[in-house]
Amino acid sequence: MQHSTLRYNGCALMLVKFEIYSDSGYWCGRGIGVDIFTQGKTLDELMENIREAVMLHFEDELGRGENIRILSISETEVGTVARATGC
């Protein structure tokens, strides 16, 4: 299991990273370095599902008082203004 631990205001935080993308009308969240996958019809639903999945996956760590933060990484297409020849 790979996740990052960082310090914030003197407290250790576990950082769990997710790749966020849209696929066939659903928003999907795939854990980076952790075995978690979930989806939702809306981005808000996906984020709630990610929180729930992280809570279940790291139930023992949370029970010991660990602080966990979620970092979501998404890719957004930006429209082209001009296209160079050969691209």
Structure tokens at 32: 């980076």
pTM of the model: 0.78
pLDDT of residue 13: 85
Percent of the chain with pLDDT over 70: 78
What is the C-alpha to C-alpha distance for residues 67 and 61, in angstroms, rounded to an integer?
A: 8
Q: pLDDT tens for residues 55-87?
A: 999 999 999 899 999 999 998 777 766 666 665
Percent of the chain with pLDDT over 90: 67
pLDDT of residue 82: 64
